[in-house]
Amino acid sequence: MKKYNICIVDDDEIYQFTISKMLKTFNFGDKIISFEDGEEALHYMMDNLNNEKELPDVIFLDINMPIMDGFQFMEEYVKIKPKLSKIVTIYMVSSSVDPVDIERARKIAEISDYIIKPIKPGELKTIIESIEPKGLLE
């Protein structure tokens, strides 16, 4: 199984730790990077537009964060997406069960799915395994 560069964008350090641990347990993450807000993650993406080794394959993106929230990140991401040197799969992950948030996320083509926290280990395994058929396998 391919290992992925995984980016966690979430201001909850416990969640960051938990999902990182699960990814390592399943041996999915080649590189796991975390950011506490969308702005940090966006700067990282822009600094590495043409650097496939550094760009994430998968982003787990929270909605509610300080400085730049998940939806604001997506507004900016859509602008830089054509310049990226690889396909990035984005999952919006939130504790929000608000239908407005869910519908808003579903309207953004670049978001693969909306996942309600906490992510269970089996759910995470299914998510990562579902990436492979999308042509991300080497």
**CATH number, domain containing residue 53:** 3.40.50.2300
> Is the pLDDT confidence value at 135 over 70?
no
Q: For residue 41, which of 63, 10, 19 has the smallest C-alpha distance?
A: 10
pLDDT tens by residue, 78-123: 999 999 989 999 999 999 999 999 999 999 999 999 999 999 999 9
Number of domains within the chain = 1
135 within domain boundaries? no
**Residue 1 binned pLDDT confidence (cut-offs 50, 70, 90):** low
13 within domain boundaries? yes
100 within domain boundaries? yes
Tell me the residue range of the domain where 59 lies: 4-122
The pLDDT value recorded for residue 127 is: 87
51 within domain boundaries? yes
pLDDT tens by residue, 35-85: 999 999 999 999 999 999 999 999 999 999 999 999 999 999 999 999 998
User: In terms of pLDDT, which residue wins out, 135 or 129?
Assistant: 129
The pLDDT value recorded for residue 78 is: 96
133 within domain boundaries? no
9-27: average pLDDT: 93
91 within domain boundaries? yes
> Is the pLDDT confidence value at 27 over 90?
no
The pLDDT value recorded for residue 116 is: 94
DSSP annotation string for 35-75: ESSHHHHHHHHHHTTT-TTTS-SEEEE-S--SSS-HHHHHH
The pLDDT value recorded for residue 109 is: 95
> Is the pLDDT confidence value at 136 over 80?
no
62 within domain boundaries? yes
